[in-house]
Amino acid sequence: MTDANAVPAAPGGPGALPASVSPALAAPGGTRAPDPAAPAVRRRRKPTPSLVAGLVLGGVLVLIAILAPLMLGETAEQLGGGSRQGPSAEHLLGTDALGRDVFARALVATRLTLLMAAGATAISVVGGVLIGGLIWLAPRRPREIVLRLVDATVAFPALVLALVIAAILGAGSASALVAIGVAGIPAFARLTANMVGGIVHRDFVTTARLLGVPGWRLFTRHLMPNVSGPLLVVMTSSFALALLEIASLSFVGLGVQSPQFDYGQLLSDGLTAIYSQPWQAIAPSIMLIYAGVTAMLIGDGLAQTLDPGLRAVKRRAKLVPSRRDDAIAPAPGALVEVRDLHVYAPTGAELVRGVSFAIDRGRVLGLVGESGSGKSMTAMAVAGLLADGVRAEAGQLRLDDLDLSRRNDPKRLALDIGLVYQDPGTTFNPALRMGAQLSELARVHLGLGRRAAAARVEESLDRIHVRDAASRVRQHAFQWSGGMLQRATIAAATLPEPKLIIADEPTTALDVTVQAEVLRQFRRINRERGTAMLFISHDIGVVQELCDEVLVMRAGQIVERLSGEQLRSGRVSHPYTQQLLDASPRMDDPITARPSAGGGDGTGPAPEDPTPEAAPVPSQSAGGTHDRA
C-alpha cells in the first residue's frame, strides 16, 4: 500500500493528518500509486453499459414518480368508471372493483413505493454502518459481544424480522418503513464490520490513532472512505430488496392502508379477481419488476465501474502473453532464478513485462531506472508482497529449492528473504523501543532467549557502525535520525541470515562516507554468507560500484543488461542507460564557468561570483541529496 498507507506525521498537531493518509477507495487495498502503464484507466472510469442502462431506466422511473401523481392523480382516485371493466381505449388495463383506472393507479403508486423503499434503505444503511464501523473503535470485549449478536440476527431472514416488527408496531406505511429499515440493519452492520476489520489494523489507521485523531474523525475520514464503494453497490441491491419487502407487507395487509396505495396493495386487490380479470395484476407486477431490475442494473454497473478488474477478465485474457520458456537459459545452479516475469494490475494493465534474471550465491544484481520503471514491483513479486489485486506470472520464480510462485509458509519466507525498504520511518513502531522491535526478530524467527536476542541485536548494529548500540536500543524510533533508522533496517534484514537480501534504495538516507561503509558491509555479508542480493537504486554510481550485474529497466521491461565492469567503464549501448550515466556527476568531469550575466564575452566570472573559479562540488549521484546521519 504507499507500504502505501503509512505516512509521516502532519505538521498540524496531534489531530491533523494529510489527506493522503487514508486511502481513497477502491480496491480494498487502500491508496495506490499512479500506474504509469495505464494512465487512462486511473484518471477516468468509463461507465459500463449496465450502469448507463440502469441510470436511463432509473431516470424514467423517477419521472414517472414525479409526474404521474400530478397528471393522473385524479384519474387514479376517481370512482364510478364501472366496476371491473376490461381493457379499453379509456382504461388501458380496465378498472378495479370501485371503477378506478388500474393503469393510472399503478403509475401513481410509484412515488409512494419508491419513497418508502428509499427511506427503509436509508435506515438500514445508516444504522448498519454506524454499528459495524464504530464497534471497531470500542474495547475488545464489547466489540465481540456486539459482533456475535449481529451474526445471530443475520441468521434470520430480513423479511421475517420485518413481519414481526410490523406486527408489533401495527399496520401502516410508517410502520412498514421502520420495520423493513430495522430488519436490514444487521446485514449492513455485518458487511461494514467485515470490511472495516480488514483495514482497522493497517498502518495508516495505527498512525492516526498514535497521532491522537479522535474516534469519530478516524471513523469518518480514515475508515469510511475505504468501504464506501462496496457499501454503495450493496445499497442499490438493498433498495431492490426493500421494494419487494414493502410490497410483501402491503400484500399481507401490514403495509400501506387505504386510501393510500402502493404496488403491494394493488397486487393484493388484483389477486381477488386473478382468474376473471388477470390484467389487474399486470400493471403493478410490471412496475415492481421494472423498479427492481433498474436498481440491480445500477448496482452491477457501479460495481464494475468502481472496480474495473471485474470487467477486465476478458480483456486480461488478451493481454497475457503466452509464457516464453526460452526467455533466458535455465540456471539450475543459481540461488535465485526469475524467468519471464509479468506483473498485472487489477485493471489488467501490464506493469512488468518479461523480466528474467538469475543471481548466484555471493553475487549482487542491480536494478536501476527511473521512478515507475518497475524496479520495486519486480522485487515485490519475487518476495511475494504484491498489493491486493496485483498478480504475477512467470515461467520460473525460484529461491533455492523454494517455488516463489506458490503460496509458501510465511515463516520460511521471513527467514530466507531479508528486506530493506527505502523509507525507514514506516518500518518501526513509534510507540515501542528500538531494542524491543529488533530483538523480537531474533526471538520469533531464531528462537533465541531475551538476553541472547539482545546481544545479537547489538552485534548487528555494531556491524553497520551504529555507535553506542547498547544505549541506542533503549530509545524510540523518533529519537533516531533517518540515517540511523536506515541502518537499523539493514540490521533487521540481515539478522536472520537470509538467503536473499532485497535492498530497495538502502543508502538513500546516508551521507557519502557512511554510504560507502554500508555498501562494504553489504558486500562483505554477501560474500561471507553466500547470500544473493537484489539491489534497487536510482543511483547508478552506487550500482556500478556494488553490483556484479546490472539490469537497466524502463516502462516495466529490461532495456539493457550489463556487467558492473561495463557500467563502470561506460561501455553501454542503450541511449537510456547513457542518459542515466550522464545524469550522474563525476569528480573528473571538466568544470565550466557560468556565462556572464552582464552580456559580456563570457570569458570572465559572472558578476555575482566572488572568485574566478567555481568551487569543486563533492561527487553526488542522481539519486538525490543525503542528509547527515
Residues 11, 12, 15: CA angle, nearest 5 degrees:
120
Res 377: pLDDT: 92
pLDDT category of residue 593 using cuts at 50, 70 and 90: low
Whether residue 113 is predicted with pLDDT greater than 60 in this model: the reply is yes
The CA-based angle 176-179-185, given to 5 degrees, is 140
71, 195: one domain = yes
Please give the radius of gyration of the chain, using alpha carbons only, rounded to the nearest integer: 33
Looking at this protein, which amino acid is placed at residue 606? A
Q: Which residue has the higher pLDDT, 473 or 482?
A: 473
Among candidates 348, 439, 357, 349, which has minimal Cα distance to 396?
357
Highest mean pLDDT (candidates 175-179, 217-221, 577-581): 175-179
Query: Dihedral, CA atoms, 526, 529, 534, 539, nearest 10 degrees?
Result: -20
Looking at the structure, tell me whether residues 79 and 128 fall in a common domain. Answer: yes
The pLDDT of residue 37: 39
Interstrand relation of 549-554 and 500-504 (parallel, antiparallel or unpaired) = unpaired
Q: pLDDT over 70 for what percent of the chain? A: 81
Write down the pLDDT at residue 13: 35
At 310, the pLDDT band (50, 70, 90 cuts) reads: low
pLDDT of residue 509: 61
Question: Do 302 and 176 sit in the same domain of this protein?
Answer: yes
Q: Decide if 603 is inside a domain.
A: no
pLDDT for residue 43 is more than 60: no
Q: Which of 163-172, 507-516, 576-585 has the lowest mean pLDDT?
A: 507-516
Number of domains in the chain: 2
| Lowest model confidence (mean pLDDT) among 51-55, 407-411, 499-503, 505-509 | 505-509
- Asked which of 260-264, 269-273, 468-472, 602-606 is least confident by mean pLDDT, the reply is 602-606
CATH of the domain at 85: 1.10.3720.10
Name the nearest CA neighbour of 284 among 57, 112, 162, 115.
112
Task: Say whether pLDDT at 441 is over 50.
Answer: yes
Residue 283 located in a structural domain: yes
Of 321-335, 411-425, 511-525, which gets the smallest average pLDDT?
A: 321-335
What share of the chain in percent tops pLDDT 90? 26
Pair (54, 107) in one structural domain: yes
- 384 by Cβ neighbours in 10 Å (0-12 / 13-18 / 19+) ranks as middle
Cβ contact 86:44 at 8 Å: no
Cα(261)–Cα(244) distance, integer angstroms: 15
pLDDT for 227: 86
Q: How many CA atoms lie within 13 A of 14 on its CB side?
A: 6
Residue 463: inside a domain: no
Cβ–Cβ < 8 Å for 627, 511: yes
* Nearest alpha-carbon partner for 261 in 386, 105, 414, 50: 105
Lowest-pLDDT choice from 8-17, 235-244, 469-478, 554-563: 8-17
φ, ψ at 418 (rounded to 5°): -105, 135
Torsion of CA 64, 65, 68, 69, to 10 degrees: 180
C-alpha cell at 489: 533496517
3-state secondary structure of 358: strand
- Assess whether pLDDT exceeds 90 at residue 590: no
Examine the fold and report which residue of 562, 582, 602 is the final residue of a domain before the chain moves on: 582
Q: Which range has highest mean pLDDT (179-193, 300-314, 581-595)?
A: 179-193
User: Does residue 380 carry a pLDDT above 60?
Assistant: yes
Per-residue confidence (pLDDT) for residue 308, from 0 to 100: 58
Give just the sign of the alpha carbon dihedral 466, 467, 472, 478.
negative
pLDDT tens for residues 538-554?
888 788 888 999 999 99
Of 4 and 176, the structure prediction assigns the larger pLDDT to: 176
Statement: residue 98 has pLDDT above 60:
yes
| Burial (CB count within 10 angstroms: exposed 0-12, middle 13-18, buried 19+), residue 197 | middle
Q: What is the pLDDT of residue 370?
A: 87
User: Do 182 and 267 lie in a common domain?
Assistant: yes
Query: Does any domain span residue 384?
Result: yes
CATH of the domain at 521: 3.40.50.300
pLDDT at 442: 87
Segment among 208-212, 287-291, 352-356, 602-606 with least mean pLDDT: 602-606
Neighbours of 454 (CB within 10 A): 19
CB 178 within 8 A of CB 169: yes
- What is the rounded average pLDDT for all residues in the chain? 79
Across residues 116-138, what is the average pLDDT? 92
Query: Model confidence over 527-539: pLDDT tens digits?
Result: 888 889 999 988 8
Q: Residue 457 is placed in which grid cell?
A: 541485536
Pairing of strands 402-403, 350-359: unpaired
Q: 438 pLDDT exceeds 70?
A: yes
Beta strands in 235-333 (DSSP E): none
- Rounded Cα gap, residues 162 and 171, in angstroms: 12
Q: Is the pLDDT of residue 91 over 60?
A: yes
pLDDT higher than threshold 70 for residue 31: no
Residue 227, judged by CB atoms within 10 A of its CB (0-12, 13-18, 19+), counts as: buried
DSSP count for the chain of H helices, then E strands: 22, 11
Q: Single out the residue of 384, 315, 391, 314 nearest to residue 346, CA to CA.
A: 391
Examine the domain organization and report whether 148 and 246 are in the same domain: yes
370 is a domain residue: yes
Which range, 79-83, 274-278, 405-409, 586-590, has the best average confidence (pLDDT)? 405-409
The angle subtended at Cα 46 by Cα 42 and Cα 49, nearest 5°, is 150
Q: Read off the pLDDT of each residue in 151-167 and give the average, rounded to a whole number.
A: 91
Same domain? For 193 and 227 the reply is: yes
User: Do 234 and 370 belong to one domain?
Assistant: no
* pLDDT for res 42: 43
Contact 543, 366 (CB under 8 A): yes
Residue 436 counted as domain residue: no
* Own/partner pairs, 12-19, CB within 8 angstroms, 24+ separation: 14/211, 14/212, 14/213, 15/211, 15/212, 15/213, 15/214, 15/217, 16/211, 17/207, 17/208, 17/211, 17/213, 17/221, 17/222
Instruction: Output 588-591 pairs: Cβ under 8 A, ≥24 positions apart.
Output: 591/616
Residues 222 and 188 in one domain: yes
Same domain, 196 and 295: yes
Q: Give the pLDDT mean for 346-374.
A: 90
What number is the average pLDDT over the span 392-412?
87
Band of residue 513 on the pLDDT scale cut at 50, 70, 90 = confident
pLDDT at 597 over 70: no
- pLDDT for res 428: 85
pLDDT at site 177: 93
Structural element, H or E, at residue 341: strand 336-344
* pLDDT average, residue stretch 161-174: 91
In a domain, 25, yes or no: no
Mean pLDDT of 457-467: 84
pLDDT at 313 (0 to 100): 43
pLDDT score at 483: 75
Please say if the pLDDT value at position 30 is more than 70. no
Q: What share of the chain is helix, strand, coil (3-state, %, to 5)?
A: 50, 10, 40
For 65, phi and psi rounded to 5 degrees? -65, -30
| Residue carrying the nine cell digits 502503464 | 37
| Cβ 454 vs Cβ 473: under 8 Å | yes
- pLDDT of 520: 80
Give the confidence band of 45 by pLDDT, cuts at 50, 70, 90: low
Distances (CA, A) of 534 to 98, 294, 363, 512, 529: 84, 53, 9, 21, 15
pLDDT exceeds cutoff 60 at 9: no
| pLDDT number for residue 366 | 92
457 occurs within a structural domain: no
Are 531 and 501 in contact by the 8 Å Cβ rule? The answer is yes
DSSP letter at 90 equals S
Cα 525 to the center of its chain, rounded Å: 36
> Do 562 and 489 reside in the same domain of the chain?
yes
- Per the listing, cell 518479461 goes with 354
Say yes or no: 362 and 243 in one domain: no
Bridge partners, 418 (sequence order): 501
Higher pLDDT, 515 or 441: 441
With bands split at pLDDT 50, 70 and 90, how would you rate the model's confidence at 15?
A: very low
Residue 532 CA to residue 500 CA, distance in Å, equals 5
Band (pLDDT 50/70/90 cuts) for residue 589 is low
Give the structural domain span for 534.
Answer: 336-430+482-582
